[in-house]
Amino acid sequence: MLKTGFIGAGTTGTALAVRLSQKGWPVVAVFSRTLSSAQKLAKRVPNCQPYHTAQELADVAEMVFITTPDDVIAQVCSEVHWHRGQSVLHCSGAHSVDILEPAKRLGAAVGSFHPLQTFADVDQAIANVPGSTFALEAEEPLLSTLKELAHLLNGNWVKLGSGDKVLYHAAAVFACNYLVTLVKLALDLWKDFGVSSKEATRALLPLLRGTLNNIDNIGLPDCLTGPVARGDLGTIKRHLDALESRSPSLLTTYKELGLQTIPIALAKARSMNRRQKK
């Protein structure tokens, strides 16, 4: 097991440090832009010391996670004098390992370890880590170590090839961030007929959970319900008319999502036909 340090004591760094340490992985060092953040992380992790500089941390840790915001990973990496035998990782979903080139040039092994998860605050992040999938980029033997870490965190892993990372991250934006956007659009429509966002959220959450359960239990395309799946053109026409008169800014989005839904509905119809013939 490699003595491990974290540069960047935010939500992701703290969640990974806490969970790895709970599994017996030696998380021994933390450095952050502010000492108070490093001290906060160190308090949650037994035998973890806060350091005053990234270099001091890199001098004691065999494996270093750079868990700063994406935009400063390259700069942080370039300011440390890494050495052969050391492993340097980042957790960005959008960047490949290429931004760790300065560490590679100095002989360190480099990799990325991206938790495919949403971390809104530290406690929620710690709770959400187990069971997540981790997107890995690294060469052996570091790749095997990262698989071991994913396994320790009760998670799965997927290995990405070079050049796949940006598309992979765009997919995560669709499934996570734009789901939030879609809920916000639904809440706006509820506001239009006089229901507060709080009440509307309470009403929509069971629908959202039911949808996720159907995706999980039934899978695509059969989990699709609603007017496009049923071919209810009259209902769709009435939606379009209502949006045009009461919420025209949503019309383009509604139409585009409808168009993207048609192939799913057709695939569901084919799948049902196949089942009926059996």
Ligand X SMILES: NC(=O)c1ccc[n+]([C@@H]2O[C@H](COP(=O)([O-])OP(=O)(O)OC[C@H]3O[C@@H](n4cnc5c(N)ncnc54)[C@H](OP(=O)(O)O)[C@@H]3O)[C@@H](O)[C@H]2O)c1
Among 4, 5, 6, 9, binds ligand X (CB under 6 A): 9
- Judged by beta carbon, residue 119 or residue 157, the one nearer ligand X is 119
List binders of ligand X among 105-134 (CB under 6 A). 114-115, 117-119
Among 12, 21, 87, 145, binds ligand X (CB under 6 A): 12
- Judged by beta carbon, residue 95 or residue 268, the one nearer ligand X is 95
Query: Is residue 100 a contact residue for ligand X (CB under 6 A)?
Result: no
Residue of minimal CB distance from ligand X?
A: 10
Q: Which range, of 29-37, 206-214, 226-234, 249-257, touches ligand X by CB under 6 A?
A: 29-37
Q: What single string gives the DSSP state of each residue in the chain?
A: ---EEEE--SHHHHHHHHHHHHTT--EEEEE-SSHHHHHHHHHHSTT-EE-SSHHHHHHH-SEEEE-S-HHHHHHHHHTS---TT-EEEE--SS--GGGGHHHHHTT-EEEEEEEES--SSHHHHHHHSTT-EEEEEE-TTHHHHHHHHHHHTT-EEEEPPTT-HHHHHHHHIIIIIHHHHHHHHHHHHHHHTT--HHHHHHHHHHHHHHHHHHHHHT-TTTT--SHHHHT-HHHHHHHHHHHHHH-GGGHHHHHHHHHHHHHHHHHHHHHHHHHHH-
- Judged by beta carbon, residue 91 or residue 138, the one nearer ligand X is 91
Query: Is residue 37 a contact residue for ligand X (CB under 6 A)?
Result: yes
List binders of ligand X among 56-85 (CB under 6 A). 67-70, 72, 76
Q: Which range, of 26-34, 142-150, 198-206, 238-246, touches ligand X by CB under 6 A?
A: 26-34
- Judged by beta carbon, residue 87 or residue 117, the one nearer ligand X is 117
CB of 209 to ligand X, least distance (A): 20
Cα-based angle 21, 23, 26 (whole degrees, multiple of 5)? 40
Among 5, 26, 50, 93, binds ligand X (CB under 6 A): 93
Summarize as ranges the residues that interact with ligand X (CB under 6 A).
7-13, 32-34, 37, 67-70, 72, 76, 90-93, 114-115, 117-119
